[in-house]
Structure 1
Amino acid sequence: MHFDVFNGDADGIIALVQLRLARPKESRLITGVKRDIALLKQVSPEQANSVTVLDISMEQNSDALASLLAHQVEVFYVDHHRPGDIPEDEHLKATINTDANTCTSLLVNELLQGQYVNWAIAAAFGDNMKAAATALAEKAGLSKEQRQQLEALGIYINYNGYGRDLDDLHFHPAELFKLLVKYKDPLELIADSNSIFATLESAYRQDMAKAKSARVLFDGPSAKVVLLADQPWARRVSGVFGNDLANASPDKAHAVLTLNADLSYTVSVRAPLNNKQGADSICVQFPTGGGRAAAAGINHLPQEKLEAFIEAVSQYYLT
């Protein structure tokens, strides 16, 4: 049996869309909400012949990966997060690139030699890789309107991945993948009035309108920190709202905190767009923190650690 294991955000889903359009394969899909990254442990080494892993940290899945390799399971791994120690094993084929200006879908696009480049562009926009996405769109000869359409689609797919659990999402990521992979070109999906594009667009706009009321906890020269309520809409916009803030003030770091039921915080951090480094270094200082240089997060930040977090993020980017 083959397993496809992928992050439930735009980058993870669209990376798999590209691969399965190019290389159709019957598989069992393993995915979850954006922050559910310890996914590889759901794959049974006794059941798997081969596994494709996309856009989840190798470092956070190292034990499960080691178990698969010990059972001689073939693993194809593509990612852009901190990998930790990459095993040297004949059964592992890994493409890992932690450059802050790339993402998993862009790496898959390179592996496929641009076969489904429009999908890669949508994913890069969704992962807030605007410069890389725009450059690739210009190289592909897309019009301004087409670029804007792909940017919107990428953002909406990414927005769908955020939530405390799957009940917060509009579409289960596995179901969303199945709906997207029907289209060889995302522009065809956008033009299809019966596709999920309009549904996600409407939901996104409603939730983002509510985010304008976010409470500002800190706003200094190097960073801004805002707080959203313990509500499904707030959890859904936590990532895309952070991207919006980052795009509006590219010299500042931004953190979006969402209140949890236990009064801790879920934290989404965006490094300054003009200095895309350090987000992971800040978040790993706190338990349940991790991510990549440009964007990282903390799953459960205790209230008593809030001041220390604000101090850490604001001081890190002071020059």
Structure 2
Amino acid sequence: MHFDVFNGDADGILALVQLRLAEPKESVLVTGVKRDIALLAKLDIEQVTSVTTLDISMEKNADGLASLLAAKKPVFYVDHHRTGDIPDSPYLQSIIDLDANTCTSLLVNEHLNHAHYLWAIAAAFGDNMNKSAIALATQHQVSENDQTFLKALGIYVNYNGYGRTIDDLHIPPAALFKTLVGYANPLELRDDKDSVFYQLESAYQQDMANAAQAICHHDDNIAKVIELPDEAWARRVSGVLGNDLANQSPDKAHAVLTQNRDESYTVSFRAPLANRQGADNVCTQFETGGGRAAAAGINKLPREQLATFIDTLTAYYR
């Protein structure tokens, strides 16, 4: 069996939409919430004939990837996160680019010679790579009205990926992929008033309205750090709220802390838009941290390490 393994956010889902529109294939879908990225370890290698892996860190999947390659299973891997050492294997075809201004869907778009570029534009907007999204849209003469819709679509699909478990999400990522791949053109979602776009739009607006109750721990000309409660709506908005704050204050770093049940925080961190680097360097100084240069996170930051985290990020960008 072929396995499609992908991140449950906009970039992962819409990268796979592009690939399967261009190259239809029966596959087993393996995905999860945004932070569920150690996905290759979940595969039963005896069932695998080949694997496509999208938008999950090779560094975090090193053992699973090594096992697949040792078993001579072909793997096509596209990503823009930290890689660690990339295996040298005839069974691995990889497209890896760590540039802060690209994402997996943009890399897939290039791989497919822009066959489904509208989906790539939506994904780039969803990953808060607005300049890259606009550049691609301009290249293909996409109207401003259509860009506005694609931006909203990308944001809503990305928003849907954040949660502690699948139960926090409005739509499981695998189900959302199956729905979206049924549309050859994402603009068709706008015309279908019963489409998933409008379902996610309503949910997004309600959850973002709740974010007004966030607690502010730190706010200066370098960084802003806010805290959200241990609620499903808060986990859903943690990533898109960080992007929204970054767009409002592009010279500042932003961290959104969401309370966990065990006296720790889940951290969603954004480097300044004007200086899209270092987010991974900051977060990987903490045990459960990871990510990429422009955006990273920490799965469990102990509450007693909050002051250290704030000191670390402000020192990095000072």
- TM-score grouping bracket, smaller chain normalisation: over 0.9
Deviation sequence 1:251-292 (CA, Å, 0-9, x none):
000000000111200000000000000000000000110000
Report the CA distance between 1:193 and its aligned residue: 1.2
Moved more, 157-166 or 214-223: 214-223
The amino acid of 2:283's aligned partner reads C
Q: Distance in 1 between matches of 2:270 and 2:306?
A: 17
> What corresponds to 1:78 in structure 2?
78
Deviation sequence 1:199-235 (CA, Å, 0-9, x none):
0000000000111221110001210000001000000
Q: Distance in 2 between matches of 1:194 and 1:307?
A: 46
Report the CA distance between 1:138 and its aligned residue: 1.1
TM-score normalised by length of structure 2:
0.99
> What corresponds to 1:8 in structure 2?
8
> What corresponds to 1:262 in structure 2?
262
Report the CA distance between 1:47 and its aligned residue: 0.9
The amino acid of 1:50's aligned partner reads S
> What corresponds to 2:206 in structure 1?
206
Matched, 1:192 2:183: no
> What corresponds to 2:32 in structure 1?
32
> What corresponds to 2:176 in structure 1?
176
> What corresponds to 1:64 in structure 2?
64
Q: Distance in 2 between matches of 1:218 and 1:129?
A: 25
> What corresponds to 1:104 in structure 2?
104
> What corresponds to 1:315 in structure 2?
315
Q: Distance in 2 between matches of 1:142 and 1:112?
A: 19
Q: Distance in 1 between matches of 2:132 and 2:79?
A: 16
> What corresponds to 1:143 in structure 2?
143
Name stretches of at least 5 consecutive residues in structure 2 with no aligned partner. Answer: none
Mapping 1:214-233, distance limit 5 Å: 214-233=214-233
Q: Distance in 1 between matches of 2:317 and 2:163?
A: 28
Say if 1:220 and 1:314, in contact at 8 Å, map to a contact too: no
Secondary structure at the counterpart of residue 298 of structure 1: strand
Q: Distance in 1 between matches of 2:205 and 2:263?
A: 27
Q: Distance in 1 between matches of 2:71 and 2:194?
A: 44
Secondary structure at the counterpart of residue 311 of structure 1: helix
> What corresponds to 1:304 in structure 2?
304
Q: Distance in 1 between matches of 2:188 and 2:140?
A: 16
Q: Distance in 1 between matches of 2:139 and 2:110?
A: 14
Q: Distance in 2 between matches of 1:151 and 1:159?
A: 12
> What corresponds to 1:152 in structure 2?
152
Q: Distance in 2 between matches of 1:143 and 1:212?
A: 33
> What corresponds to 1:121 in structure 2?
121
Secondary structure at the counterpart of residue 52 of structure 2: strand
Secondary structure at the counterpart of residue 254 of structure 2: strand
Secondary structure at the counterpart of residue 186 of structure 1: coil
Deviation sequence 1:38-78 (CA, Å, 0-9, x none):
00111111110100000000000000100000110000000
Report the CA distance between 1:142 and its aligned residue: 1.1
The amino acid of 2:150's aligned partner reads L
> What corresponds to 1:249 in structure 2?
249
Q: Distance in 2 between matches of 1:251 and 1:216?
A: 18
Q: Distance in 2 between matches of 1:44 and 1:222?
A: 46
Report the CA distance between 1:313 and its aligned residue: 0.9
> What corresponds to 1:132 in structure 2?
132
Moved more, 47-56 or 210-219: 210-219
The amino acid of 1:107's aligned partner reads L
Q: Distance in 2 between matches of 1:83 and 1:90?
A: 18
Deviation sequence 1:71-129 (CA, Å, 0-9, x none):
10000000000111000100000000000000000000000000000000000000000
The amino acid of 1:263's aligned partner reads E
Secondary structure at the counterpart of residue 81 of structure 1: coil
Secondary structure at the counterpart of residue 234 of structure 2: helix
> What corresponds to 1:89 in structure 2?
89
The amino acid of 2:240's aligned partner reads V
Secondary structure at the counterpart of residue 77 of structure 2: strand
- Aligned-residue Cα RMSD (Å) equals 0.5
Q: Distance in 1 between matches of 2:282 and 2:190?
A: 38
Mapping 1:254-293, distance limit 5 Å: 254-293=254-293
Name stretches of at least 5 consecutive residues in structure 1 with no aligned partner. Answer: none
Q: Distance in 2 between matches of 1:225 and 1:64?
A: 35
Taking every aligned residue pair, what percent have the same amino acid on both sides?
66
Q: Distance in 2 between matches of 1:9 and 1:264?
A: 23
Report the CA distance between 1:194 and its aligned residue: 1.9
